[in-house]
């Protein structure tokens, strides 16, 4: 009984220690299953032809933004979640009305939120079905940039 009491006491101590040292205000997104996937969805078929397993459909994440005490409502969209080689990716589809700016700051402003809310992601896939391309965006946070050698 003493060993069991010590084990339970150690477990309670570790749980309290982890809770105490967890970053304040950390908010992580936990996604459910998303929308049901249509068997003839061209995006799903394209991703599967490229070796990805589509594990969930579109997710709508409701957001409340407080600006000077006034609440505004918005949504964050994840088009698909896919897996390949035990790595998980969020998928964003290219849309004409929201062109992607292919610069470091443009990608950061548009996609970094997914890496911060879903830290288990390996990256974000940008899928353009019109040109049959998939581009992978990955963010490494707190890494010194590599200097180019002359």
Q: All domains of the chain, ordered by start, with CATH?
A: 25-137 (3.40.1350)
CA separation for the pair 44, 57 (Å, rounded) = 9
Whether pLDDT at 120 is above 70: yes
The two three-digit tokens of residue 94, written as one number: 């290219």
> For the residues 35-62, what does the mean pLDDT come to?
88
Q: pTM of the full predicted structure?
A: 0.71
Dihedral, CA atoms, 122, 113, 36, 52, nearest 10 degrees?
-20
What is the residue whose two structure tokens read 């992580």? Answer: 28
More confident residue, 71 or 148: 71
Confidence of residue 134 (pLDDT cuts 50, 70, 90): very high
CA separation for the pair 125, 82 (Å, rounded) = 9
User: In this predicted structure, what is the pLDDT of residue 24?
Assistant: 55
Among 110, 88, 105, 118, smallest CA distance to 27 is for: 118
User: In this predicted structure, what is the pLDDT of residue 27?
Assistant: 53
User: In this predicted structure, what is the pLDDT of residue 83?
Assistant: 92
């Amino acid at each position: 009984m003493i060993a069991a009491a010590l084990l339970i006491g150690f477990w309670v101590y570790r749980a309290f220690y982890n809770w105490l040292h967890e970053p304040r205000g950390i908010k992580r997104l936990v996604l459910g299953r998303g929308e049901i996937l249509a068997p003839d969805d061209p995006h799903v078929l394209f991703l599967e032809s490229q070796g990805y397993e589509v594990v969930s459909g579109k997710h709508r994440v409701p957001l409340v933004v407080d600006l000077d005490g006034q609440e505004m409502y918005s949504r964050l969209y994840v088009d698909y979640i896919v897996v390949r080689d035990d790595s998980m990716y969020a998928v964003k589809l290219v849309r004409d009305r929201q062109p992607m700016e292919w610069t470091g700051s443009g990608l950061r402003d548009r996609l970094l939120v997914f890496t911060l809310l879903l830290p288990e992601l390996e990256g974000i896939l940008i899928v353009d079905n019109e040109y049959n391309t998939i581009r992978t965006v990955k963010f490494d946070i707190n890494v010194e940039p590599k200097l180019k050698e002359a």
